């Protein structure tokens, strides 16, 4: 991952970059990435389908072209907002996150839902819910599928889920 950041820092001036970011909780890494990008690049965000948290996983081959054709250019205002969001997130400033969830951005969508989920996770409620659910479902694959459906906003991987239910 570090080598990818180094590549990003060495991209030629006026290059065009398409970010294929999903909308889940870990969109915070997007905010970090935007904070590291040089100003002299043309940046675009490619979106997954908006009506689910599945991201790009279930796209058909003909969906990719339509996704890139509907990419939205990332403005300097979007990058500035991303930096403020990243700062508030990394400083655990939930009030600032809440305030920033109302800022306008076509690129950083679903912030209100994501910020609500962050507050829920930090309160310990999500961890408790996951532990309770894990007691009801014996098979981890079935349990993980249920997590993906109910808690897709977090974009949790299997190891993250295992660590949360310890």
Q: Are 115 and 131 in contact (CB under 8 A)?
A: no
pLDDT tens digits, 88-122: 888 889 899 889 888 888 888 888 888 888 888 88
Do 146 and 160 lie in one domain? The reply is yes
pLDDT, mean over the chain: 80
The confidence band for 71, taking pLDDT boundaries of 50, 70 and 90, is very high
Q: What local confidence, expressed as pLDDT, does residue 21 receive?
A: 78
Do 63 and 130 lie in one domain? The reply is no
Do 135 and 88 lie in one domain? The reply is no
**Residue-range definition of the domain harbouring residue 81:** 2-122
Q: What local confidence, expressed as pLDDT, does residue 72 receive?
A: 92
Average pLDDT over residues 40-47: 86
Q: How many domains does the chain have?
A: 2
């Amino acid at each position: 991952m570090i080598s990818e950041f180094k590549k990003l820092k060495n991209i030629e001036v006026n290059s065009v970059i398409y970010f294929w970011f999903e909308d889940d909780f870990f969109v915070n890494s997007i905010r970090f990435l935007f904070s590291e990008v040089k100003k002299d690049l043309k940046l675009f965000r490619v979106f997954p389908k908006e009506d689910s948290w599945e991201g790009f996983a279930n796209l058909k081959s003909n969906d990719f072209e339509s996704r890139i054709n509907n990419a939205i250019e990332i403005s300097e205002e979007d990058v500035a907002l991303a930096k403020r969001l990243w700062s508030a997130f990394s400083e655990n400033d939930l009030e600032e996150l809440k305030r920033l969830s109302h800022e306008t951005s076509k690129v950083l969508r679903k912030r209100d839902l994501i910020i609500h989920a962050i507050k829920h996770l930090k309160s310990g409620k999500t961890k408790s819910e996951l532990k309770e659910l894990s007691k009801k479902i014996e098979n981890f694959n079935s349990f993980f599928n249920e997590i993906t459906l109910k808690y897709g906003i977090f974009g949790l991987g299997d190891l993250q889920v295992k660590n949360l239910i310890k």
